[in-house]
Amino acid sequence: MKKLNKILLVDDDPTSIYINENILKRMEIKHEVTVLTNGKLAFDYLITNCSSNSNNCPAFVILDHHMSVMDGMELMEALNKIDLLRNNNVVFLLLAINTTPQQIEIFKDLGVQEFTSKPLSKQTKQFAKPGV
């Protein structure tokens, strides 16, 4: 499978980060993984990398729901308010643990396309769309 240029992993749990980075490495779908530990850092990163030059925008964002500072839902709401990602073709995958069906529907409305539980699995490979 062709590797994605950039993946953004947003999670505040060091163990989950370690496991998910290793899973991505074994699946051979990533070229560069940027890890950020909360939604505010991810928001700033996406503004910087997706606003002026979409070549710097990650193709795939793996997002935890529950984080300090700014959680996954707050991040998606903030991104929708500024309409940053509409033309960037970024695929969002939510790591949905202890997430209610109602919350899943809200995430869908906010633009999250895929959902999986922690940690990532082989199924994640089907969500990644190289060349996006």
The C-alpha atoms of residue 14 and residue 59 are separated, in whole angstroms, by 23
3-state helix, strand, coil in the chain (%, to 5): 40, 20, 40
Rounded to two decimals, the pTM is 0.84
Superfamily of domain 4-126: Response regulator (3.40.50.2300)
The Cα–Cα gap between 60 and 77 comes to 18
Q: Assess contact for 83 and 51: CB atoms under 8 A.
A: no
Neighbours of 117 (CB within 10 A): 13
pLDDT mean over 35-50: 94
Q: Give the Cα separation of 29 and 40 in Å (integer).
A: 26
**What local confidence, expressed as pLDDT, does residue 3 receive?**
52
Q: Which of 3, 77, 4, 18 is nearest to 42 (CA)?
A: 77
Average pLDDT value over all residues in the chain: 82
**What integer pLDDT is reported at residue 1 of this predicted model?**
43
Is residue 115 classed as helix, strand or coil in its secondary structure? strand
Task: Count other Cβ atoms within 10 Å, centred on residue 25.
Answer: 11
Q: Could you tell me which of 29, 39, 57 has the C-alpha nearest to residue 95? A: 39
Per residue in 25-34, pLDDT tens? Answer: 887 766 788 9
